[in-house]
Amino acid sequence: MTQTLSSQATQFYQWKGYRCAYRVDRPNADSNQVPLVLVHPIGVGLSKAFWDRFCDRWRSLPNANPIYNPDLLGCGESNMPHIAYTPADWAQQLQYFLKNIVGRSAILVVQGALFPVAIKLVQIETTGEENPDRVANPFVKGLVLSGPPSWPLITKGTPPLRQKLLWNLFFDSLVGRGFYRYARRREFLRSFSVRQLFDRPEDVGEDWLGMLKNGASNEASRYAVFSFLAGFWRENYQQQIEAIAQPTLVVMGEKASSISKEGERETPDDRLNDYLKYLPKGEGTKISGRNVMPYETPGEFATAIAPFVRRLSSSM
């Protein structure tokens, strides 16, 4: 009987005194294959479980590469300290994870607005910060971007003072705690998913809503979500994107939309072309779906990225 990823045992490691969780799929695959490291989105109830549907489909492909599926700090089964998280924090966690758990070069598969985490991780390896011995042979061999943010959003920062005020006066307060309790209600989760994430309302089913509801049951999970909402990830990343030397595949949904006013006039083709214009080794494709393709159309997403993954594996 085939074992699904969601039923496999969660493993743990220590990073900076925190207990961090991950799962491994197909750990005994060919050692010459480049593993995938999945980076889940940040949002109410989201964690490594976001990738379960994709993993099930990926496993069915011939000679599928192994998968490492970590929970970022503040999410899922990892510790949830009361801190304001930045992309640099999660990038440092992933850098440790790649070095000490994966132990070899990998392809990052990054969902949505977590692209800045990958940018910071590549920057760490490029500059040698915390990892001077890996500059010439980085742990990040390539990137797959699933529905990255609109170009205006990824190239426009939020003033640091505004970020701190939002965090201190609203999110990190009793008002913020009350808002999180409201936001994790099934009715709100369904409404937001229909309006912002999925192409077809009927795809916002009980599996999705149950996953979010379960993931948000621990109120300490709000700190990661509120760090995202406060805008600690927002800055102008254009120059850093232009410096990414790794091959990068951008996968855009045919009905992709933006959650921000900055990108609401941008078409999926516009967004894809902007990324391909600035990524030195970028290539792109569009598939069915809107903003969460690995969950919404996991089979098509797996098929779309497989040639890119195979090509990087063959170049080892």
Which range marks the domain in which residue 152 is found?
11-314
pLDDT confidence tier of residue 191, bands split at 50, 70 and 90: very high
Residues shown for the chain: 316
Strands 67-70 and 18-25: antiparallel
Report the pLDDT value the prediction gives residue 128, as an integer from 0 to 100: 62
- Identity of the highest mean pLDDT range in 3-7, 25-29, 142-146: 142-146
Report the pLDDT value the prediction gives residue 273, as an integer from 0 to 100: 96
Report the pLDDT value the prediction gives residue 5, as an integer from 0 to 100: 44
Report the pLDDT value the prediction gives residue 234, as an integer from 0 to 100: 93
Question: What is the pTM for the complete model shown?
Answer: 0.93
The pLDDT tens digits of the residues spanning 99-128 come to 999 999 999 999 999 999 999 999 998 876
Partners of residue 283 on adjacent β-strands: 249
pLDDT confidence tier of residue 316, bands split at 50, 70 and 90: low
Determine, yes or no, domain membership for 6. no
pLDDT reading at 222 higher than 60: yes
The pLDDT tens digits of the residues spanning 138-188 come to 899 999 999 999 999 999 988 889 899 999 989 999 999 999 999 999 999
Of 31-40, 120-129, 236-245, the one with minimum mean pLDDT is 120-129
Report the pLDDT value the prediction gives residue 180, as an integer from 0 to 100: 95
Report the pLDDT value the prediction gives residue 3, as an integer from 0 to 100: 41
Determine, yes or no, domain membership for 4. no
Of 77-86, 124-133, 243-252, the one with minimum mean pLDDT is 124-133
Determine, yes or no, domain membership for 167. yes
* 249 phi/psi in degrees, rounded to 5: -105, 125
- Around Cβ 236, how many Cβ atoms within 10 Å? 11
pLDDT reading at 74 higher than 90: yes
pLDDT confidence tier of residue 260, bands split at 50, 70 and 90: low
Of 12-26, 38-52, 68-82, 150-164, the one with minimum mean pLDDT is 150-164
Structural domains counted in the chain = 1
Determine, yes or no, domain membership for 150. yes
The pLDDT tens digits of the residues spanning 10-24 come to 999 999 999 999 999
Report the pLDDT value the prediction gives residue 159, as an integer from 0 to 100: 87
- Average pLDDT (192-218) is 96
Report the pLDDT value the prediction gives residue 6, as an integer from 0 to 100: 45
Residues 83 and 171 sit within 8 Å (Cβ to Cβ): no
Q: In what order do the strands lie in the sheet with 248-253?
A: 11-15, 18-25, 67-70, 36-39, 106-111, 140-146, 248-253, 282-287
pLDDT confidence tier of residue 1, bands split at 50, 70 and 90: very low
Determine, yes or no, domain membership for 2. no
CATH code for position 156: 3.40.50.1820
Determine, yes or no, domain membership for 220. yes
Determine, yes or no, domain membership for 202. yes
pLDDT reading at 213 higher than 90: yes
In angstroms, the CA 37 to CA 71 distance is 11
pLDDT reading at 272 higher than 90: yes
In angstroms, the CA 174 to CA 132 distance is 43
pLDDT reading at 204 higher than 80: yes
Structure tokens at 160: 């640091």
Report the pLDDT value the prediction gives residue 152, as an integer from 0 to 100: 92
